[in-house]
Amino acid sequence: MELDRLKGVLRQNATPSAQRRENTAEHSWHLAIMGLVLEDQSPIPVDRVKVLCMLLLHDVVEIDAGDTFAYDHASHDDKAEREAQAADRLFGLLPSDQNVEFRAIWDEFEDGQTAESKLARALDRLQPILMNHRCGASSSWAKHGITKEQVLNRNREVEDLSAALWALLNRCCNEAVAQGFLKP
Amino acid sequence: MELDRLKGVLRQNATPSAQRRENTAEHSWHLAIMGLVLEDQSPIPVDRVKVLCMLLLHDVVEIDAGDTFAYDHASHDDKAEREAQAADRLFGLLPSDQNVEFRAIWDEFEDGQTAESKLARALDRLQPILMNHRCGASSSWAKHGITKEQVLNRNREVEDLSAALWALLNRCCNEAVAQGFLKP
């Protein structure tokens, strides 16, 4: 029941199909299937179950810590501390063996050093780009006056993972600039 | 991008935290984590990755076929056919190896004969019970005048899986009857 609360945490980006802000629960579902479908974009073979667990669990801390907008530098100052406290409380609701197991998976995602976490983190970057690209004038890019340079700088983890996904990300940005809802 | 559309498919039950109807994307996320946390409720050990894939994918057919209310018998007459056509189209968007793999997982869920699909199907039954129990007067039980007998008859897959989860389901029903939002 505690997990139900993540359905009420709203992200900055919209969902183009539903024409409203996306919540973190449905974002996590979308990402998990992206992890399935795009696992071959990792240059190193990945453990599928670990990727799925990471993507399902990576944002549960937002139940307590809320969503931090990617381009809000002030809120990022204490993000790690707020999220670690949330992880203590939320994973702490589970029996101790599950607490230890799922907390380790969440920590591994945060650290971003393994093949699984590199794939998961890059997809977590890519997914809102795809949403914003499709949302056009109602995108969070348009709403907050974001520049292409900000998007590229913020999402280098995609470049580090996969040339194909980086090319896709660049195409989305270029089309958004041409259509006037992302600043050059 | 096609998956984004599942965020706009509304289920009959509400989400108690967000105080609105639940959509099928966030329902699927919730279920996938329930599959992780409750996998030990299966009397036979399960393949975790298969359970997660099933729960992530089991309802994608609703993108085309919509959500069918559990107690709407007329809509259930052609549900299987509508959903099979949806599976043809949606899994058919993938490269052929992924089409074959994910379609087989979806078929296995629908058939409900393996340990993984029995666990997944029982949790898919249990999750809206938990939501309705918490929603009280705004539950779909209250809205549609559902009886406890209907709930118990509809959800025998939970009884077949786990005595502990069946006891939980019965407790939810008894409390709902006592509070007057589920008919005796």
pTM of the model: 0.96
Q: Are B59 and B8 in contact (CB under 8 A)?
A: no
Q: Are B142 and B181 in contact (CB under 8 A)?
A: yes
Higher-scoring residue by pLDDT: A18, A72 = A18
Task: For A43-77, give the DSSP string.
Answer: SS---HHHHHHHHHHTTTTHHHH----TT-HHHHT
What would the pLDDT profile of A98-119 be if each residue is shown by its tens digit?
999 999 999 999 999 999 999 9
Question: CB-based contact (8 Å) between A7 and chain B?
Answer: yes
Beta bridge partners of A14: A21
For residue A68, the model assigns a pLDDT of 82
This model of the complex carries an ipTM of: 0.96
CA A101 to CA A109: how far, in whole Å? 13
Q: Are B12 and B151 in contact (CB under 8 A)?
A: no
Question: CB-based contact (8 Å) between B120 and chain A?
Answer: no
For residue B75, the model assigns a pLDDT of 77
What would the pLDDT profile of B64-107 be if each residue is shown by its tens digit?
999 888 787 777 888 899 999 999 999 999 999 999 999 999 99
Name the burial class of residue B131, with classes exposed (0-12), middle (13-18) and buried (19+) by CB atoms within 10 angstroms of its CB: buried
CA B30 to CA B45: how far, in whole Å? 21
Name the burial class of residue A154, with classes exposed (0-12), middle (13-18) and buried (19+) by CB atoms within 10 angstroms of its CB: middle
A contacts of B36 (beta carbons < 8 Å): 53, 56, 102
Write out residues 19-78 of B within 8 Å (CB-CB) of A: 19, 22-23, 25-26, 28-30, 32-33, 36-37, 48-49, 52-53, 56-57, 60
Bridge pairing between strands A10-15 and B20-23: unpaired
For residue B54, the model assigns a pLDDT of 98
CA A120 to CA A55: how far, in whole Å? 6
For residue B72, the model assigns a pLDDT of 79
What would the pLDDT profile of B44-67 be if each residue is shown by its tens digit?
999 999 999 999 999 999 999 998
With 80 as the cut, is the pLDDT of residue A75 above it? Answer: no
